[in-house]
Copies of this chain bind each other. A is one copy, B any other.
């Protein structure tokens, strides 16, 4: 396969992805914001999430900041700012918050910036790192230390209605999608 064809094709295979803005800050207090589509649930107790970071220069600030400060945020992306979110993947000399006109806000539990425009924001403490031998990709595990979520999106059973919160999904490298609930299914028994 030709290189770009292959990149689009293989990136499509895993299905729909979560799409989050990761907020970090360096030790000089300069904020950084970058879009990631490889974020996933790792465990509920302790509450853990994972991020895969490619070993290329474009994403290095995020990893450096996570390792030097020990914290990062995940912020779900909504339809009304998905083009700005995508734009954070360009290389800027200034903070992507300023370059892409998104608003940095800070919580009480950790120093990394949240995205005010997001309705689901998660603060995490760096917990563990693995380097995949096969291609150098870095797996970062974070422990949830804070969540800032619109209250009317949280159900009585703890289910967060992320569709109501406006969270979108993505596919391949560059496609964004809204969603429509089919239904919630009961715990499966034979």
Known: A10-B44, A88-B188, A175-B184. 6 other contacts (CB 8 A): A5-B157, A9-B154, A42-B134, A134-B143, A160-B171, A180-B180
Q: Does the CB pair A14–B18 fall under 8 Å?
A: yes
**Is the CB of A95 closer than 8 A to any CB of chain B?**
no
Task: From A45, A89, A92, A184, name the one whose CB has the most chain B CB atoms within 10 angstroms.
Answer: A184
Write the nearest CB–CB distance from A2 to chain B, whole angstroms: 8
**Is the CB of A30 closer than 8 A to any CB of chain B?**
no
- Say which size band chain A's interface belongs to: 35 or more
**Is the CB of A106 closer than 8 A to any CB of chain B?**
no
Task: From A13, A99, A134, name the one whose CB has the most chain B CB atoms within 10 angstroms.
Answer: A13
The interface residues of chain B lying within 8 Å CB-to-CB of A20 are: 15
Please give me the residue from chain B that is nearest to A35 by CB atom: B188
Write the nearest CB–CB distance from A126 to chain B, whole angstroms: 11
